[in-house]
Structure 1
């Protein structure tokens, strides 16, 4: 019985008995949604560099899948490798976008190198680890319940970490992130991270976690206040001394400005 199966891009491939290794044919550049969903025998997936996308749920609950080689893939869609509980090795150096739940519940995936990742959507890596030094956006619950995660390093390209991103990462001890306006949108990002003691800013400065969270939220508050002030300044132009009423649509009922004589 042949262990290898050459995949030609069909939406619902039928693997012969004994096939445990899927090799994607050179003619295929997209693995379609649901292609191998719930397959129990695949152990290894090998893609050539021309494969650019793995569709949603393509390998959903492939419980024997252990090794994935996809050097040219740029997008992994929603739940593509959901609950591949045996998956322990992924090669994906060109991967830029990881959609919601893409590697969720891949509990054997202890580490993954993603040097090109820019967007990580919600629950993308729940219960596993990842190095995301090039990520720009980390979605809600992206690393939730990654109980083995001890450290996370982000580069200066990171712009936003959304709510609950590291919820209940019990082992997380240190994280490296840049200090930017709007980086955090809530104080629950590290909820349940009882071992997290310090935050390292890109550039080397080390802060206690509570101070870091306060600093990030202060940056957000400062930006929000500046936006409010700018909007008020646009509504209230320079006027002569005294009182002047304004249209309700601009500043609300009974709104007025007071100007002191020069």
Structure 2
């Protein structure tokens, strides 16, 4: 039978590339000791709905590429999201990442149901087209820092109505 729920033990600090690619898992729960998710680790997991990764600091390129059912992501210590990490996660609705520092190019492109984004004071950069085609995005909360947002970071986000700026560090 196919495994649908995965719990990553404290003995593992890195989820390797291609580890669960295309598998029918629905939930991922990582121990706080897991620090990194490598490229394509969960690429094309069509049923993945919930990510609980309290200790993860870095998500590599295309780690959750086309996880179309993904609705909830809990990453309290996440600092770096590489390009295409959440590409075409159509069902993702909101993001709250208080420790994020860098959101690389096309990290959340075509997350069509994404309505709100909240980043903490640590944020240093949002790269080019990071939220390309997030047509439902209405609100973003981020720190006010000079030169932090690249050109076209929110290209195709025609419903963006509220940008709440908080004091940066």
Would you say same fold, with TM above 0.5?
Answer: yes
Q: Which has the larger radius of gyration?
A: 1
Query: What is residue 210 of structure 1 aligned with on the other side?
Result: none
Query: Structure 1 residue 52 and structure 2 residue 35: aligned?
Result: yes
Superposed displacement of residue 105, structure 1: 0.8
Superposed displacement of residue 131, structure 1: 1.5
* Gap runs ≥5 in structure 1: 1-16, 178-201, 204-262
Distance 1:37 1:157 in 2: 37
Distance 2:11 2:44 in 1: 26
Query: Structure 1 residue 25 and structure 2 residue 9: aligned?
Result: yes
Runs of 4+ in 1 over 4 A off after TM superposition: none
Query: What is residue 162 of structure 2 aligned with on the other side?
Result: 174
Larger fraction in strand: 2
- Secondary structure class of the residue paired with 1:109: coil
Superposed displacement of residue 142, structure 1: 0.3
Q: Which has the higher contact order (CA 8 A, sep 6+)?
A: 2
Q: C-alpha offsets along residues 1-43 of structure 1, whole Å, 9 cap, x if unaligned?
A: xxxxxxxxxxxxxxxx14200111221010011111122x100
Larger fraction in helix: 1
Distance 1:25 1:158, change over 3 A: farther
Q: C-alpha offsets along residues 71-102 of structure 1, whole Å, 9 cap, x if unaligned?
A: 00000000100110000011100000000011
Query: What is residue 118 of structure 2 aligned with on the other side?
Result: 131
> Which of 102, 109, 134 is residue 85 of structure 2 equivalent to?
102
Query: What is residue 37 of structure 1 aligned with on the other side?
Result: 21
> Which of 144, 169, 175 is residue 132 of structure 2 equivalent to?
144
Superposed displacement of residue 106, structure 1: 0.6
Superposed displacement of residue 157, structure 1: 4.8
Superposed displacement of residue 54, structure 1: 0.3
Count of aligned pairs between the two proteins: 162
TM-score, length-scaled by structure 1: 0.59
* CA contact 1:136–1:158 (8 Å) conserved in 2: no
